[in-house]
Structure formats: structure tokens, C-alpha cells
């Protein structure tokens, strides 16, 4: 049998491709097809499934549970999200929800890397472990959540605050990472704090032919210079230290500019917005005081509003004090994998898990794979997918027997 035929006939690849074909794509997602698919998976595994709605009936959290032999112990969560980002179909060589496989075994679909792969690899590993008759001390909850790609505000963020989540008795969570182009797998133990900042700058208005004092434009220039100067400092810091990743520094990007009524009228109000991701070593109080000081230095009459202002969240410990980390690392060493600890550059549901005091790691077993999350022609090779299943078959028992 040819390799491509072997992959096409593989039961787990079939499940993966079926899941990818469900267009759970923003905006206005209907998750019913995902729920029906997961119900069939749970039935096949002879495991109970529950659905929770932390915000509304349009945004479910699906939980498949494998009860441990010592169910009073804190449980292990294997988390993934069902939603995927929009596609620009005209830029894809394959239908984005076709899950086409080429002669190299590349499976093309939105969600192939981010992150339907991981959710299905969990299920595949659990299926194999159950067939082998394995049992574990700790209960395992496979969670499939909504709304992660829009920030989790209707998914994991409210869910962790509910009694339903507390009743799951979670001790540790494993969630998504990112593909790795080389041999080394990144493992994420922390995330930066996302601040989306708007400076609302007010100044003297009047005719565009005059030189008014204290105009919004002058103040805008000062604020932009300060913020972009901070950006330049971080770029230089990153360039000078090759050991640093982008997640280790504070990123600043000007993303919005608003204001003005016509070109010969000096505006009374200008608004500038920045996307800022604060490095985990930044003191939030000190940083905010700096912003307020710049507003005063610019001439005052500037207010700061936050679209998003995430708090500092304690990183997950990666030493002997964290028994889950010890178990995870033991599995990695047993498999002979090379890993590198990193701060996640974007945002995942792990930040909400950590925020309620539960350790969490981000890991996607996809090396020698180009990073294509949110990109056109997103794909994952069948052999990489199946290798990931084998990796989870070693990791999951270690975590569930802590």
C-alpha cells in the first residue's frame, strides 16, 4: 500500500479530516456540527460528555471526561478550541474546509494547525490508551471551547469563574502551542499581558491657516514619538540578544488613528490606538504611571482608555516545585524530544487558567512544520499528526499519574 493510501485509510486521519471540514469559522459560528461530531467521539470512547454555556447558548464548552481511579485528586485538563479564524478563500490553493491531502501527505484546512489538530490528537491518544486497557489515577477532562479566536470572552474567560469549572477540580491544563520549523519544540509557560490603549487627545481648535497653541496634533506627535521610541528600544533589545524571543520583550504597534473633520480645520480631538503586549518582567503600575506622565508632558487634556487591559498573571513554574512540569519533562525526556521554554507571543486560553491559580503549559507536537496559523493554505502533514498522537500517548499518562 502506498503511503498516501495508508494515510487516507487511517482511522485517526479520517476523524481529523472530518473535524476540519466543519466550518466553525468566525463570524457567527454555529457550533452544533462540532457538538454532534464530539458526541459521536465520546460515544465511541464510551466516555460521558457534558455541555456548559457560561455566557449564552451560542457559545458552548464541551467536556469529555475519563474518570480516574482516584477521582478526588485534582484533574488534568486537555484543552482545545473549536473556533477558527476567517479565510480569504481566493488566496487558497485548496478549499479551506476541504481537508484535501496532497501526495506529500499535507492536509490543507483552516484549523489544521490552530488548533483542531491538538483536540483530535488528544482524542486519538485517549482512544489508543483505552484500547490498551490503561487506567490512571487522575481524572482527565478534554475541553473543547468556543470563542478563543476572539479572546475567549464568551468561552474560557467566563467559564473558569463558574461553579461548573470549579466542580471539575482542575489541577493542571495542557493547551496549544505553535508549530516549529526546526527540530526543537517550543513549550509555553507564560503569556504577556495584552493592553490595547487609546489616547484621546484634546487641543485648541480653529482655522487651519493659523498657528494655534496646544493643538491636539502637537500632543499627538509627542505621544506617538514616546510610544514608538519604546518600540524602537524593544526592537534593539531583541536584536542585541539572540537568546530572546519576541515573547520576551514588550511589543508596541500603532494600530488606529482617528480624528478631524476637514483639512482646513484644526481638530479639537484626535485619537491614537496602540496594541501593547507587556513582557512578564514589566511592572504594570510603573508602566501606567509612565503613560500618564507622557500625557502631562505632551500638554495635558489627554485621557487614556483601554479596550483591553489584561492583568499580570503568574507564569507556570518549570522546576521541581511543580510536579506536573516534572511529569511533562519526564515524558519529553523519555521520547528524546528537544524543547525550548518560551513566553507565548500571542494569547491563548491558558492565561485564564493561570489567572485562577492553575498551572498550564502550551504545547503542539508539530516540528519541522512551517508556522501557518491564521495564514493561507494552512496545513499539517499526516505523518506529523500521527507522530503527535504518539507523543501525547506518552505525555498524558505521565500527567494523569502525578
The pLDDT, as a whole number, for residue 3 is 87
Residues 119 and 16 in one domain: yes
61-108: pLDDT as tens digits:
999 999 999 999 999 999 999 999 999 999 999 999 999 999 999 999
Residues 290 and 335 in one domain: no
Residues 233 and 210 in one domain: yes
Residues 164 and 27 in one domain: yes
Residues belonging to the active site:
83, 148
Query: In whole angstroms, what is the distance from residue 150 CA to residue 314 CA?
Result: 23
336-356: pLDDT as tens digits:
999 999 999 999 999 999 999
The pLDDT, as a whole number, for residue 1 is 64
Residues 36 and 98 in one domain: yes
Residues 179 and 292 in one domain: no
Mean pLDDT score of the chain, rounded to an integer? 97
Report the pLDDT averaged over residues 150-176: 98
The confidence band for 313, taking pLDDT boundaries of 50, 70 and 90, is very high
Residues 63 and 158 in one domain: yes
Mention every residue, 6+ apart, whose C-beta is less than 8 A from residue 44: 127
- What's the distance, Cα to Cα, between the start and end of the chain in Å? 41
Whichever domain contains 215, its CATH number is 3.30.70.360
Report the pLDDT averaged over residues 326-341: 98
Whether residue 49 is predicted with pLDDT greater than 70 in this model: the reply is yes
Residues 75 and 177 in one domain: yes
Asked if 186 and 343 count as a contact pair (C-beta separation under 8 A), the reply is: no
206-246: pLDDT as tens digits:
999 999 999 999 999 999 999 999 999 999 999 999 999 99
The pLDDT, as a whole number, for residue 2 is 81
The pLDDT, as a whole number, for residue 247 is 97
Q: What is the dihedral of CA 338, 344, 349, 355, to 10 degrees?
A: 110
Residue range(s) defining the domain that contains residue 106: 3-191+315-400
Asked if 38 and 12 count as a contact pair (C-beta separation under 8 A), the reply is: no
The pLDDT, as a whole number, for residue 76 is 99
In which order are the strands placed within the sheet that holds 269-278?
251-259, 269-278, 193-202, 302-309
Residues 201 and 246 in one domain: yes
State how many domains the chain has.
Answer: 2
Query: In whole angstroms, what is the distance from residue 163 CA to residue 195 CA?
Result: 28
Amino acid at each position: 500500500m502506498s503511503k498516501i493510501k495508508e494515510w487516507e485509510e487511517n482511522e485517526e486521519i479520517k476523524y481529523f479530516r472530518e473535524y476540519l471540514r466543519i466550518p466553525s469559522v468566525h463570524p457567527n459560528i454555529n457550533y452544533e456540527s462540532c457538538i454532534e461530531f464530539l458526541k459521536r467521539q465520546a460515544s465511541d470512547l464510551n466516555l460521558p460528555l457534558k455541555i456548559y454555556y457560561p455566557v449564552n447558548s451560542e457559545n458552548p464548552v464541551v467536556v469529555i471526561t475519563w474518570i480516574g481511579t482516584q477521582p478526588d485528586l485534582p484533574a488534568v485538563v486537555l484543552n482545545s478550541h473549536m473556533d477558527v479564524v476567517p479565510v480569504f478563500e481566493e488566496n487558497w490553493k485548496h478549499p479551506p474546509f476541504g481537508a484535501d491531502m496532497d501526495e506529500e501527505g499535507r492536509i490543507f484546512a483552516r484549523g489544521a494547525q490552530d488548533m483542531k489538530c491538538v483536540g483530535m490528537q488528544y482524542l486519538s491518544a485517549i482512544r489508543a490508551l483505552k484500547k490498551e486497557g490503561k487506567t490512571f489515577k487522575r481524572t482527565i477532562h478534554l475541553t473543547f471551547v468556543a470563542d478563543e479566536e476572539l479572546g475567549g470572552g464568551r468561552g474560557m474567560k467566563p467559564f473558569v469563574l463558574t461553579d461548573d469549572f470549579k466542580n471539575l477540580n482542575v489541577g493542571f491544563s495542557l493547551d496549544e502551542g505553535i508549530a516549529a520549523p526546526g527540530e526543537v519544540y517550543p513549550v509555553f509557560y507564560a503569556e504577556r499581558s495584552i493592553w490595547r490603549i487609546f489616547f484621546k487627545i484634546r487641543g485648541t481648535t480653529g482655522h487651519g491657516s493659523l498657528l494655534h497653541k496646544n493643538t491636539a496634533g502637537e500632543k499627538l506627535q509627542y505621544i506617538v514619538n514616546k510610544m514608538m521610541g519604546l518600540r524602537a528600544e524593544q526592537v534593539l533589545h531583541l536584536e542585541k540578544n539572540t537568546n530572546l524571543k519576541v515573547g520576551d520583550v514588550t511589543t508596541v504597534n500603532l494600530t488606529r488613528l482617528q480624528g478631524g473633520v476637514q483639512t482646513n480645520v484644526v481638530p479639537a480631538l484626535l485619537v491614537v490606538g496602540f496594541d501593547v503586549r507587556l513582557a512578564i518582567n514589566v511592572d504594570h503600575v510603573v508602566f501606567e504611571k509612565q503613560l500618564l506622565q507622557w500625557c502631562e508632558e505632551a500638554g495635558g487634556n489627554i485621557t487614556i482608555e483601554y479596550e483591553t487591559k489584561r492583568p499580570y498573571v503568574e507564569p507556570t513554574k518549570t522546576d521541581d516545585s511543580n510536579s506536573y512540569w516534572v511529569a511533562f519533562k519526564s515524558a519529553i525526556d523519555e521520547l528524546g524530544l528537544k524543547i525550548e521554554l518560551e513566553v507565548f507571543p500571542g494569547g491563548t486560553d491558558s492565561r485564564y487558567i493561570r489567572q485562577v491559580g492553575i498551572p498550564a503549559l502550551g504545547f503542539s507536537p508539530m516540528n519541522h512544520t512551517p508556522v501557518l496559523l491564521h495564514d493561507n493554505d494552512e496545513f499539517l502533514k499526516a505523518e506529523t499528526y500521527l507522530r503527535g498522537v504518539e507523543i501525547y500517548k506518552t505525555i498524558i499518562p505521565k500527567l494523569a499519574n502525578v
